Amino acid sequence: MAADLPGTAFTYTPLTDDPGGDAYEAAQMNTAYEEIEAVSTWLGAGTDIASKGGIRLTIKGQGGSTTVGYTGEVAVASLAGTPTTLIPGGAFDVTVGAVIAYMVEPSSGSASGGILTIYNGDTETIYDDGTNTVTVTVAAAGQMTTVRAAGSLTYNIMLNVLVWI
């Protein structure tokens, strides 16, 4: 916790460069560390930061003028036999492929997770217990969906789409 850091006091001093060109002062660096730790403690105390539509960050190339790809995360609650759109076709779609870290929690049975690479036009299985199956598909038009492809369970799914182009 911030109080455990020796020689620091919780303040909101911004990091500013010394007009003389000297490096940032240690006290200012400690303040920044305390602020980060205070935010972490605040989140750990049960305060929710939620997004219903997922989070997407646009990744620009060197110089910042050209979009290279995207990163983000999305969750699906109570997935069943109707496909759920993870990334819509059109703007921000998957034109090449995606790398996904995922966790699938079935309504009964054992959860599973992993990391997969999926390319435009492909379907990959992210859950299979021999009876129940969940897949992720990237359509040729770039839309990414997930669906219960077999069985009768429902699923809570968390997908961290590490990168997609």
CA torsion through residues 67, 69, 73, 78, sign: positive
Give the global pTM: 0.69
Task: Give the strand pairing for 112-119 and 123-128.
Answer: unpaired
* Residue 112 region by backbone torsions, left for phi larger than 0, else alpha for psi between -120 and 50, else beta: beta
Distance CA 83, CA 109 (A): 21
- pLDDT tens for the 165 residues of the chain, in order: 444 444 444 444 444 444 554 444 444 444 444 444 444 454 455 555 566 667 888 888 888 888 899 999 999 999 999 999 999 988 889 999 999 999 999 999 789 999 999 999 999 999 999 999 999 999 999 999 999 999 999 999 999 999 999
Residue-range domain boundaries for the chain: 2-44, 55-164
